[in-house]
Amino acid sequence: MRILVTGGAGFIGSHVTDALIEKGDEVHVIDDLSGGRREQVNPKATFHLLDIRDNAVEGLWEKHRFEVVYHLAAQMDVRKSVADPRYDADINIGGLLNLMEAGRNNGLRKVVFSSTGGAIYGEPERVPQDEDHTLQPLSPYGITKLCSEKYLHFYRETYGIEYVALRYGNVYGPRQNPHGEAGVVAIFCERMLDAKQPFIYGDGLQTRDYVFVSDVVAANMKALEYKGSDIFNVGTGVETNVVQLFRALRDVIDPTLSEIYAPGKPGEQKRSVLDYSKSKSILGWTPQVEVTQGLGVVANWFKAGRLK
């Protein structure tokens, strides 16, 4: 298959690209390198230095006629989306529409979309949150992901382009960038290795569903095989709080570090945990990496990078 991966130089996108190359697909990557790294792109993929909002996207599609797009490129910083909602929407909605308009005229058959489980549901009414949970996103980032899912439904109904939206938990693993739009796992690892004190904000009891990147890649491969359109959670069903996270990483990197607390951040969601039973029953996907195991792997990956 001819497949386009947007954001393919980034954390999750580069891993997805590797899996598609290994499967034998012809893979092209679009990335503007605002967050990704060129050296993370598989050398067997064709790389295009391009913003997903650029008019050149249509010419690229006309030339290569991609059948499938894995759409991972996004403005992912929740705080930035709150500070500048127009910028967030320009990338996350405008970029998607630019891709879809180019694709619908040039052979696009399917979209595998990286959505969000944490930001799209809002504070849980029940846990774990399944795909039928009320959708009350608390940030413009979550709103744009929900809006994108609705646009994908429109393109399916109007043009017959199938889609699978994967609502991720908090993804972590090797290649995660500890700067900019980083998750707490990468930030903690970086600060610990720099002998800088990481801070636990609030009481540290806020929970998230941490899912390892290899499990996310496996869900993306299952989505490609799926016939039809639907939405699936990609998480573990396990809540891990920030204190537990800190201690697990500290034990691997620097057991002498103290737990230092700082004032909580206003508006931070207290709980998020995803029900993956639909993914299990329909896609045949289940997470394989337990969180303590995964945190050990990523901590050692960061450590190994410092030894080079």
Distance from C-alpha of 292 to C-alpha of 276, rounded to nearest angstrom: 19
Query: Given 70, 121, 141, 168, which residue is catalytic?
Result: 141
- Measure CA of the first residue to CA of the last residue in the chain; give whole Å: 37
CB atoms within 10 A of CB 270: 13
Give the three-class secondary structure for 223: helix
Mark whether 141 is an active-site residue.
yes
The runs of H, that is alpha helices, within the chain are: 11-23, 56-64, 78-83, 85-89, 95-104, 118-121, 140-159, 184-193, 213-225, 242-253, 277-278, 291-307
Q: Is 211 in contact with 171 (CB distance < 8 Å)?
A: yes
Cis peptide before 128 (omega within 30 of 0): yes
Point out the residues that are catalytic. Answer: 141
